[in-house]
Structure 1
Amino acid sequence: MTERRKMERILLTGSPEIKIGASRQTAYDIRKFANELGFVPLEKPTFQNVFSCESLIKLFVHPLETRITLVAYPFFCHPGKNILRYLELKLIKMLSRWSKIILYVFDLPIEQSISVGNEIFIDQKSYLIERELMKCADKIIVFNEKMKSRIQERCELSDDRFVFFEILDYGVEQPDYLDKEYDPPIAVAYAGNLSRKYVGNAFLELPVNEKINYHFFGYDGEWISDLSVKFRYEGYFDPLELAPRMSRIAHYGLILRDLKNPKFTEYHKYGSTSKFSAYMVSGLPVLVPRTYEYIAQITHKYGVGLIFDSPKDLDSLLLSVSEDEYRTMRLNTYDLGKKISQGYFFKKAVSRAIDS
């Protein structure tokens, strides 16, 4: 394959090495699955290497080689306050003159910043950057109808510009299926950022009794074991280790943060999370609040978990499930997790965007 041929499909993204946690795994997954579709990944520069980033310099010198540009947003052209956002937008505008621009929008960074109280990183230019970026795109790949509508509120784009991808893929090898007996105590896993600032008082509302055990995986969770003898902090594990470990230990994976934060609840209308996908690949049916509208919707659609109104209801909900009902959920979860681990949703959506 010639160098010219190699540059016909490019992926503009961020480096996995400068990401942490779920963001790092998402960065790896986008690169991996895009590469399987023939895309050459080009990482965004950092402020320190902006003038020595060889791959991006090639684009400015030989831009006509590129026929399709896939942009992983918001890894690339993040609209928050940073000096590189103008350079990255300029590059995409230049490429749009002869390259088909496809945006893969796996998050809405403005809404995300507002939901967690980080408005300080957003300014009026952030909205302008995002509008200009969206207008450059020939196709915009989004989670769902509500994410599409949110973008259209700002950009006035037609429906035919959008493609739905539905679920965030998670490229970790899936453990072998484990037919787990459904007897108390029921084991519930929670994986993610465990800092007090992040989770707030969410765990204090979980029912504590002899019929449920909780297992917490992630950074900064040493404090959790002090809340109850039924709360066990397992530590942090790499995603490759985490999936088989959760599969062996737990019956369910919990999705929960501060349900009293209306901005965070609103944010969950626009997409799913890597946490949901990690549980699916691990073979764990999910426990999700009804107020997390979109995740609850896909949980119901695929039959891969239980939806609750309040964390306090979890014990009665879990104990109402029969052995056969749980086995069906676990099989459904394993089947969906297999697709997620293989990049099914990403590849399907990007291929459709290329062909349409």
Structure 2
Amino acid sequence: DGSGFLAIFIIGMFVGNQNTRKVSYILPVGEGITWLAQISLFLMLGLLVSPHNMVHYVVPGTIVAVVMTFLARPAAVLLCLLPMYFRRYSIKDLLFMSFVGLRGSVPIVLAMYPVMDDISNAQLYFNMAFVVVIFSLLVQGACILPVAKFFNVYAPASVAPISKANVGIMLNDDFDLFNYKIKRDSMEGRRLRTLQFPKETAVVAMFRDGHLMKPQGGTQLKKDDILSVIGVESDEIALNAIFSQDKPVKQYPLYAGDKIYDGHTPMTLLAETYNFELTSFEKTLTVAECMSYHLGGFPQPGDFMNLINARLVVVSLEGDYIAKVGLYLLSEIRLKEHRRKNARSGVSTLSKYGQKSLHR
């Protein structure tokens, strides 16, 4: 006869390592069941404990717990992990993993069997296991950080996505949607183009004060902003590092352009001055209205819109309204420089309006 526990464990390993769409639905269910099982185990442990009898087992149980925690269990785990030493882990990694080996649930289950079968000295085994488990959870758990620093395997906490989900496009190796909240002061005021995102990622949305925004390369970040980034699972480590930066990057002043125009300036005036065409609808708009229409969402200082031979840049706002707009001409050389620069940073230089305008 085979072992049902072993069979479930093995199939769980296979399912958990499958990068398929359905795993994202299976794992939360498994985590919930795991928590319920652990809660049930500790509840049963508490019901089977006799506090007035535990006093007699504190000293011998502590001695056994010290030997188990610092000698027996680390040695057993280390022997199992030694084959990995020649592959990808250093000896310091193995020693640390040996110290923080499995503990808790399994000893509780094993300690219950003698009590349920009513064998001799069942209470002795159970009480000793209880002391060992409590010692491991309290003492060994509190020592994890000092031991990690001692073995030099400690890494500062990094920013993690507040939520992550499969996009649901492909059955296998699907893309993920990572949502990051701006928490570090060093990210305040940084422009998106200064963040070196992985090549296969894309910033698809930005949320500020509950409003959806369309991010551009010149968009400045503020604390508590939420950025939605699409990428593959392997990009998460790099994205965490980007949003965990502590050192502020030198911010250069926004280039406002050769001329500054009021947001109420008619678009027809700019078209006549700089010789570009407008649609019949655009002729009825002011500069601020035209930029808001093409940028969408809530414009921010630094957002821009390309015309045939000029670029309009948002300079300042009054509430959600564009108050001042900068304009500078784009010669062929300067246009190519902007394309190369933004191609390296992974941020497109052209809005949809700009792409259409260049073909007019």
Same fold (TM over 0.5): no
In our comparison, the structure showing a higher alpha carbon Rg is 2
| More RCO (CA 8 Å, sep 6+) | 1
TM-score normalised over the length of structure 1: 0.24
Under a length normalisation based on structure 2, what TM-score does the superposition of the two structures give? Answer: 0.24
